[in-house]
Amino acid sequence: MLRPRLNPCCYYPCQNSGVCVRFDADRYECDCTGTGFHGENCSVPEFWTRVGLMLKPNPSVVDFFLTHFNWFWDFVNNSFLRDMLMEVVLKVRTNLIPSPPTYNSKYGYLNWEYFYNLSYYTRILPPVPQDCPLPMGTKGKAVLPDPKVLAERFFKRTKFRPDPQGANLMLVFMAQHFTHQFFKTDHKTGSSFTKALGHGVESGNIYGDNLMRQLQLRLHKDGKLKHQLVNGEMYPPTVSEVPVHMVYPEGIPPEQRLAIGQETFGMLPGLTMYATIWLREHNRVCDILKAEHPTWDDEQLFQTTRLIIIGETIRIIIEEYVQQLSGYLLKLKFDPPMLFNSPFQYSNRIALEFCQLYHWHPLMPDSFQIGGGQNSHEIVLKVAEMVIRESRATRVQPFNEYRKKFNLKPYTSFYEFTDDLEMARGLEELYGDIDALEFYPGIVLEKTRANGIFGESMVEMGAPFSLKGLLGNPICSPEYWKPSTFGGETGFSIVKTATLKKLVCLNTKWCPYVDFHVPRNEEEAKPRKPSTEL
C-alpha cells in the first residue's frame, strides 16, 4: 500500500517568521519577504539583520538591567532619557504583533473572508496542518497526555507561593475586570470565536458588549448610567430594575442581583468593587462635562464620557498595572504622541494565543480558593484542563514555535525548560520531545525569572500583545488624541492625569491605601481622607 507523502510544512521548516507554502505533495517554499532573512528556510540573515543580531542583547540580560541598578533608573526616570527609552520599548514590543491580522483557527493562510469576520479570534501562528502525522507536527507522541493528568501532576497547588514582586488582590481583580471586555470566548459557537467584537479596550465590561445592554444600563439623562443609592452611596442597580442577564448562584433573587456591564461580574466581590467604582467615575465625569457644556444632550455627554473612561483605563493599565507586572525600574509612560512619527496601525484584533496566555489563576491566594506550575487551587484545575482542550481543538502550534516567533531561543530539553527535576522527567515521559510541548503548559510551567512573577515567555509574549492592544486604540491616534475629543482641556486632563488612587479616592468617602502592590511599610498602609486635589 502506498502511503501518502508527508506535508513538509508539518516540520515547521521556515524560520524567522518565514511562511511555508506547500506546492506538490512533498514540496514547499518559504516566503522570506520582509523577514530580513533569505535562503531555503529563511535562515540566512541579510547584512543589516546580521548587524542587528550581533548588537541585540539577550532578553535575560535586558530584564536583569531593567530590574536592577536603582541609582541609574532614578536618573533616567527624571530626564529626557525616559521618553527615549519608552519609545524604544513601545516600538520593539508592538512590532512583534502583525497588523492587519493574519490567521485564524479555520484558515492557515491569508484570505479576505477571515479579515472582515470579526467574530474570530486572530492567530499569531497558523494552526498545525490537519494532515500532520502527529498532534504537534512531526515530534512527540502519537497521543497527547490527558489534560486532567497534566493538571493534577503539574498545575495543582501543594503550597501557595506569593508573588515575589508583591502584587496584591487589587491587581488580580483589575486583571480579571479589565481583560473580560475583550476575552469573551463564544463557547456556543466554538473556542475560536469571540463575542467581544470590539477586540480591544472599549469598556464593554462597564457598558455592556452590545447596544441593547448598553441602552438598558443607561439612565438616558445627562449621559449617566442607572444606579441606586444605598446609605447615600452609589451602586449598580438591581436586575429587578434593569432586567439584563446576570450570572449568579441559583437562589439569588433579582432584587439582590446587581446589573453590571459584564454578566459574570456579580460572582466575585473584587469584580463588583471595580464595577461600582467605574460606575461612580462615569457619572462623576458626566457631571463635570455637563457643567462645562450645558447645551450638550444625553448622547454626547455619554459618548464623550465613555472616551474619557477608555483613556483613564489605558493610562492606569500602562503606568501602574503593566508597571507592577513588569517589575521594571524604568517608569513606564502613556504618551501616544511618542508613536506619531512612526508607521503604526491604530487597530487591534485579539489573538487566541493571548486569550489562552492570560489564564492567570495561580495568582489567587488560597483564601479565595482560586488558583499554574503546581500553584493552581484544585477547585480551578478544570480551567487549565479547559484551556488545554481548547488549544488542541484549535490546533495551536507547539510552545517552542512561539518562542521562535517572539525571537526567543527554543528550549532544547525539558531540563533546560524547568528547574524542577521531577517535573522535567514527568513532562518528558508524557510528551516525549520538548518540541511537542503544548503552548499553555509551556507558558505556565516554564521556570520563573529570578524574583519574578512569570517566566521569560509569559513576559516576552504577553507584553507585545498588551501594548499593541492598548496603543492601537483609536483614542491614541493623531486624529483622536486632542482636547476636543474629550470635551476640552478639562476632560483631556482627566485622561492625562488618571491614576488608580484618583479613581478610588475620588469615588469613595475615605481614601484607603490604593496600589497594585502590598504596602511596603506601616505608613503606606494608613488610611487617609479623600482629597479634592487628587
- SS3 string, 315-356, reads HHHHHHHHHHHHCCCCCCCCCHHHHCCCCCCCCCCCEHHHHH
Query: Is 28 in contact with 21 (CB distance < 8 Å)?
Result: yes
CA distance 106 to 126: 9
Reference 383, options 404, 416, 360, 353; nearest CA is: 360
- Dihedral angle over CA of 504, 508, 510, 515, nearest 10: -10
The secondary structure of 403-447 as a DSSP string is HHHTT-PPPSSHHHH-S-HHHHHHHHHHHSSGGG--HHHHHHHSP
- DSSP assignment letter at 369: T
CA distance 523 to 511: 14
3-state helix, strand, coil in the chain (%, to 5): 45, 5, 50
- Here the cell at position 278 is 467605574
Reference 4, options 19, 20, 22; nearest CA is: 22
- DSSP assignment letter at 293: -
CA distance 432 to 425: 10
- Residues serving a catalytic function are 180, 358
CA distance 71 to 191: 47
Q: 3-class SS at 195?
A: coil
CA 510-516-518 angle, 5° bins: 85
The sign of the CA dihedral 11, 16, 17, 20 is negative
CA distance 529 to 158: 41
- Here the cell at position 86 is 519608552
Query: Is 157 in contact with 379 (CB distance < 8 Å)?
Result: no
Q: Cβ atoms within 10 A of the Cβ of 246, count? A: 21
